[in-house]
Structure formats: structure tokens, C-alpha cells
Chain A
Amino acid sequence: GAVVSQHPSWVICKSGTSVKIECRSLDFQATTMFWYRQFPKQSLMLMATSNEGSKATYEQGVEKDKFLINHASLTLSTLTVTSAHPEDSSFYICSAMPASGSTDTQYFGPGTRLTVL
């Protein structure tokens, strides 16, 4: 089956530092990847959609200068949280869609738990 990995699985950082999270599709090529954020006991909220080789599309209310997304290859997308603050502490989940896929074929990564002190 299609596997999506994320690295790191958890990270603790100091306020004001930047953190990079990687999302990789291990056995398929993904032209589209999605980044979600999930606060405790809340739903997954889509942050942005990234397409390989083009700029990411951010959802309303998500600061594109704070959450930098790069989709440099068909198997890798990165999310960088710049100048992180405690309110950015959350569970970040990516999903990847195969090149020939549709809505029902988004494969989710295991998530990255970010804690900002």
C-alpha cells in the first residue's frame, strides 16, 4: 500500500526558532500534497495545498510567511514553521495524493507533534 512518512515524529523547540517538517511519499509519486494542523480534541484543519514545482495555496487565515511550504520533488514536501511561538504547538499532518489519484486517495502521514517552549 501507499506509505507516507513524516520526519521528525515529534520536536520540541524554543520560542523564536524555526522548525522544518518533512513529508515523503515512499512508494509513489505525489503531484499534490496537503498540510493539516490538528489541535487537541479538534478536527484536522487544512493549512495549505502544495503542487510539485509551484507555489503552495494557503487557506484563509494561514500566514504564508510563517508557514513556508516547499514541494521540490514528486516525493517530498517540507513545512517550515518560522519564528515559532507557543501558540504554534500542535499536531501537523501531511497527506499525499498519487499523480493519478482523486479525493479518496489521499494517504496521510503519521503526523509530527510540535511543542514550542
Chain B
Amino acid sequence: QKEVEQDPGPLSVPEGAIVSLNCTYSNSAFQYFMWYRQYSRKGPELLMYTYSSGNKEDGRFTAQVDKSSKYISLFIRDSQPSDSATYLCAMSYNTDKLIFGTGTRLQVFP
């Protein structure tokens, strides 16, 4: 079983839709949870960072962490074609090592 599971998609939605991206994990020791956006043939870009459980909002993006269920989510409101990319979840213990999910490819069509 992988430490981090993420549906690879692709997820195709119309412009303006609310997008929900999710990851599950198996190790309860994870404390730090991140979402990265990666455009084709580019390096990942940090979108959201959350420590432990709870919600965090930044503009159109909301990250949620439910440690009891070992489940994290990223919501994108009013999705735009420019949001089309691969979204990677990543997690960490109390060290610097990041464990990534496989990424979900999102396509937002006009």
C-alpha cells in the first residue's frame, strides 16, 4: 500500500465549477500537508500549506485536513482554464522529506 493515494484523473470540469481534489494517507505520523500545482514540463509550485488538522483558505483555494480520517482535500472555487494543471498533494513528518501523491490532472474547459 502506498503511503499517499491520489486519484490520477483526469478530472474535466467547465469553467466556473467548484473542483474537489483529494488524497488519503496511511501514516498517522504525517503532520505537514501541502498542495502543489505542476504545469506540464515544469517544476511544482506550492499552493497551500497546512500544519495538522483544520482548514485554510487563500483566495479561490481552500485546503482541508482531517487527520482522524487520514484525508486531505483541496477545493478550487470559480475554476478557470488557467487552473488546468496537475495537482500534487504532499505530506511530511517532522523532517524535511516530502512524500508526494501521484497527482490529479485537472482540465477546466471554457
Inside 8 A of B36's CB, which chain A residues have their CB? 108
- Flag if B98 contacts A111 (CB, 8 Å): no
Kindly state the interface size class of chain B when it binds its partner: 20 to 34
Secondary structure dominating the interface of A: strand
Residue A46 CB within 8 A of the other chain: yes
B43–A110 CB distance below 8 A:
yes
| Contacting pair B41 A106 (CB below 8 A) | no
CB distance from A32 to the nearest CB of B (A): 6
Q: Does B54 count as interface, using CB distance less than 8 angstroms?
A: no
B44 with A43: CB separation less than 8 A: no
Q: Is A49 an interface residue (CB 8 A)?
A: yes
Q: How far is the CA of A91 from the CA of B36 in the complex (A)?
A: 17
* Contact between chains at B41 and A46 (CB < 8 Å): no
Structural contact, A104 and B45, CB atoms closer than 8 A: no
Q: Is the CB of A103 closer than 8 A to any CB of chain B?
A: yes
What residues of A have a CB within 8 angstroms of the CB of B60 in the complex? none
Q: Which of A41, A43, A93 has the most CB of B within 10 A?
A: A43
